[in-house]
Structure 1
Amino acid sequence: MAIDITDGVRSIGAAAVRQLLPARPRLLALGEPTHGEEALLHLRNDLFRQLVEEEGYRTITLETDCMAGLVVDDHVGSDGTTSGTGPGTGTGSGTGTAPGAGTLDEVMERGFSHGWGAFAANRELVRWMRAHNEGRPASDRVRFAGFDGPLEITHAASPRQALTALHGYLAARVDADLLPCTAETLDRLLGTDDRWTEPAAMTDPTRSAGRSAEARELRLLADDLVALLDAQAPYPITRTSREDLDRARLYGRTATGLLRYHHAMADPSPARMTRLCMLRDLMMARNLLALAARGPVLVHAHNSHLQREKSSMRMWQGPVEWWSAGALVSAELGEEYAFLATALGTIRHRGVDVPPADTLEGLLYALPEDGCLLDTARLATALDGTPPAPRVSSWFGYAPFDAAHLAGSDGLVFVKDLPRGPASV
């Protein structure tokens, strides 16, 4: 296949991203086609550092638990004005003193889900963010956030943490008569956390507590608490910090999202897994939009969560399709959302060898660069009339880039050979 794809090839860096995009987007997302490869995380770190320092991005958010992420944010240095309601509360003064609480070891253990805290590159990122923020005023610090829900492949978290934090925030600020229930009522309805986190419920809807009488009542109460929070919004702005209000809204999104997700886990219909995937990405999208409301954000996650096209996956009950968080955010923000996908040549330690020459990755593998950033519009033009063959991965953990998605990407990062990374720490 004699196709010239060299036009629009750039080195990976902030300058190349700046040349690629017409303006700085509010949300700039970098995807990855596989999880757990240190080399990709180090590439992310290098690019994100440059974008923070040269382009003014002030939030970095990863595909990790949004509630646990508050622990990391406090450590690297939030504005320090949180009042102590709920998890992850800050300890600083907001005046440009040292960043916040917790040792690095504690933060890596408690501040990440999915095992991401064990990766050396994530540890390096947190260490750099804290050092970067040292001595800076709150307005110039880089914030950290998780944008995934408190969800794992095997189970979903209990809504207790988010629901009780939201109730505690409101109880400290409004007349008790306005609260839809007491903390004791919430505790009784929630019961033990293991009834929510039952691993068997992921594959057996009858084992889920999501449609119990208590869960139905909790969904109503959570909705009432969020409505009360919205109705009281002018009070917190004038009497407490914007930071507190933003965290309370996060608690509300997480509580209602988790209860909705548990309800879907109890669904016996064939649409069950599609609905679960859809609801997870909806939680992600709402968190991303909330982060974007406070300033420019850098996002890192799997390509499938950030692409503008529908995502798909084959699961034990068959194939499922859903709109990703990126598609939902793009529909809301338009040109204020930009997505750089990542494609790979080889992952030899995973059995992924040199791609066939007639695939998109095969064409890119013939380039002399070990890694590059490509203009997807120019690449699509070069390929016009000659669609590449689809690449089939020999390893289930790697999803090859679909050439049909070029039009939905603002750029394509290509890494030729992915080395085996150092052991996670």
Structure 2
Amino acid sequence: MATDIKVTAHAVEAATVLKLLPTRPRLLALGEPTHREDALLDLRNELFQQLVEEAGYRTIAIESDCLMGLVVDDYATTGTGTLDEVMARGFSHEWGTLAANRELVRWMRAYNDGRPASEQVRFAGFDGPLEIEAAASPRPVLTALHGYLSTRVDADLLPCTPETLDRLLGADDRWTDPAAMLDPSRSIGQSAEARELRLLADDLVALLDAQAPHLIATTSPDDRDRARLYARTATGLLRYHHWMADTSPARMTRLCALRDVMMAHTLLALAERGPVFVHAHNSHLQRRKSTMRMWQGPVEWWSAGALISAQLGADYAFVATALGTIRHQGVDTPPPDTLEGLLYELPQDRDRCLIDVPKLATALGDARPEPRVSPWFGYAALHPDHLADIDGIVFVKDVPQR
């Protein structure tokens, strides 16, 4: 079978990826099956640079806080701050400590230097300001949205004053209490104040929409984009906090789903300004439902990729990444009857390759590889049942330790 599969493998290059697709997608997503591996991030960087230089892509969006990402974008486009400051303040999940992310930001700043704004590359985080153990206070986005509107529309149209927002929000540590993830009673998301804030946020978003002709005529595209980001994030956070206080069995399913809804909305907004290269975990980008085993049992929800694909069709493409070994994490040579095991037997000169999935399906015929079971929780193997919903596979034979 390895001889048949050999013809499905190609060099990992942007041009080759695009040849697998019927059209240049507005959102081209590259998934990864594990986080914090610089070898995978180096590959991401290479593809993004090629997509910029050869295919007209101008934005990269990664699985990081959408608000913190504004710090990176400001540096990349205008040089605001220093590289050290940006790496410390511009990434969530401690992504700023990774060498490949630092190299990405450095390259973007160098590429943009001296170029007009229309030709510059842009950076975006598309995750919400969330962690698995907590969610941020909605204060920054609610006050920013209110501030944007208060300087541009009649005061009588605003649903509340800044003082009202401040009183309802209260202390930020009430919102960010990490104990609320395991104990819903610690969340204030269904308090009287939170309910009133949800109504006010809805009114602020409606005002933003109602004043669109005036705002388009009087503010810059970047200012409007940020106001829309604040609006999406404010309503998304308040919705997330509401369900953090839920005690039903569906609580974690709702929270996982709401996180990916926020991701999808941000990616769709980014795609309005041009083609976007997206990088995140496979589970956030796949077209099939995502699953995770959590403390209360298995959870299943539609990913951001599934939501976007349903809306954009061929304007969304998903290339998954699969791995052979991560020996420093105890992930050794894959069993030969798994999908990764079959790909691992490709010629030794291919440390990484791009797999044409339709040709792979033909090569497999009626054979169905067994699902791989990873000995390490941090690596999610590619399930062979997902092949029909994947546009391509980047296979990395061995992930080295750094």
Please, what TM-score do these two structures have when normalized by structure 2?
0.98
Q: 2:135 aligns to what SS in structure 1?
A: coil
3-state SS of paired residue (1:400): coil
Contact 1:345 1:353 in 2 (8 A): yes
* Secondary structure at 1:380 match in 2: helix
Q: How many Å apart are 1:100 and its aligned residue?
A: 3.0
Residue equivalent to 1:333: 312
Tell me the amino acid that sits aligned with residue 97 of structure 2. Answer: A
Alignment of 1:219-234 (within 5 A): 219-234=198-213
2: CA distance between counterparts of 1:72 and 1:54? 23
Instruction: Give 5+ residue unaligned stretches, structure 2.
Output: none
- What does 1:208-247 align with in structure 2 at a 5 Å threshold? 208-247=187-226
- Residue in 1 aligned with 2:141? 162
Contact kept in structure 2, 1:3 and 1:383, CA below 8 Å: no
Q: Deviations over 1:57-89 (max 9, x none)?
A: 011110000011011100000xxxxxxxxxxxx
In structure 1, the residue matched to 2:5 is: 5
Match of 1:109 in 2: 88
Residue 249 of structure 2 corresponds to: 270
TM-superposed deviation, 1:3: 6.7
Q: 1:236, CA displacement in angstroms?
A: 1.3
Task: Find 1:191's aligned residue among 167, 170, 181.
Answer: 170
Kindly provide the CA deviation profile for residues 392-413 of structure 1, in whole angstroms up to 9, marking residues without a partner as x.
Answer: 0000000000111111111000
Q: Secondary structure at the match of 1:404?
A: helix
Q: CA deviation at 1:245?
A: 0.8
Asked whether the 8 Å contact 1:3–1:382 carries over to 2, the reply is: no
Structure 1 residue identity aligned to 2:71: V
Distance 1:109 1:330 in 2: 33
In 1, Cα distance between the equivalents of 2:105 and 2:241?
A: 32
Displacement of 1:6 after TM fit?
1.5
SS of residue in 2 equivalent to 1:4? helix
Q: Which runs of 5+ in 1 are unaligned?
A: 78-98
Query: Which residue of the partner structure matches residue 41 of structure 1?
Result: 41
**Residues 256-293 of structure 1 deviation map (CA, whole Å, 9 limit, x = unaligned):** 00000000100000000000000000000000000001
Deviation of the 1:384 alpha carbon: 2.6
Partner of 2:24: 24
Distance in 2, Cα, partners of 1:222 & 1:199: 24
Q: 2:260 — aligned with what?
A: 281
1:2 positional shift: 6.6
| Cross-structure match for 1:358 | 337
The question of whether the paired residues in 2 share the 8 Å contact of 1:236 and 1:242 is answered with no
1:261 and 2:216 are equivalent in the alignment: no
1:190-222, Cα deviation, whole Å (9 max, x unpaired):
001100000000111000010000000000000
Checking the alignment, whether the CA contact within 8 Å between 1:151 and 1:157 is kept in structure 2 is yes
What whole-Å deviation, never above 9, does each CA across 1:367-418 have from its counterpart, x for those lacking one?
Answer: 0111000011111122231100110000000000011111111100000000
Question: After the TM superposition, which segments of 4 or more aligned residues of structure 1 sit over 6 Å from their partners?
Answer: none
Whether 2:354 is the aligned partner of 1:409: answer: no
Kindly provide the amino acid, as one letter, of the partner of residue 89 in structure 2.
R
* Alpha-carbon shift at residue 7 of structure 1 (Å): 2.0
Are 1:144 and 2:143 counterparts? Answer: no
Residues 268-323 of structure 1: per-residue CA shift (max 9 Å, x gap)? 00000000000000000000000001100000000000000000000000000000
Match of 1:130 in 2: 109
Cα-to-partner distance string for 1:157-216 (whole Å, 9 max, x where unaligned) = 000111100000000001111000000100010001100000000111000010000000
Deviation at 1:18, TM superposition (A): 2.4
Tell me how far apart the structure 2 counterparts of residues 380 and 261 of structure 1 sit (CA, whole Å).
40
Instruction: Return the letter of the residue paired with 1:318.
Output: G
Q: Which residue of 2 aligns with 1:202?
A: 181
* 8 Å contact from structure 1 (residues 372, 415) kept in 2: yes
Q: Distance in 2 between matches of 1:137 and 1:75?
A: 15
RMSD of Structure 2 on Structure 1 (CA): 0.9
How far does residue 133 in structure 1 lie from its aligned partner after superposition?
0.5
Distance 2:18 2:272 in 1: 22
Contact 2:2-2:346 within 8 A present in 1 as well: no
State yes or no: 1:399 paired with 2:380: yes
Deviation sequence 1:322-376 (CA, Å, 0-9, x none): 0000000001110000010000000000000000000000000000111000011
- State the alpha-carbon separation in 2 of the partners of residues 240 and 280 from structure 1: 30
% identical aligned pairs:
75
Q: Which residue of 2 aligns with 1:317?
A: 296
Q: Is the 8 A contact 2:327 2:399 kept in 1?
A: yes
Distance in 2 (CA, whole Å) between partners of 1:113 and 1:408 is 29
2:379 maps to a residue whose letter is: Y
TM-score using structure 1 length: 0.93
Contact between 1:210 and 1:266, CA under 8 Å: does it hold in 2? yes
Contact 1:205 1:265 in 2 (8 A): yes
Q: CA deviation at 1:8?
A: 2.3
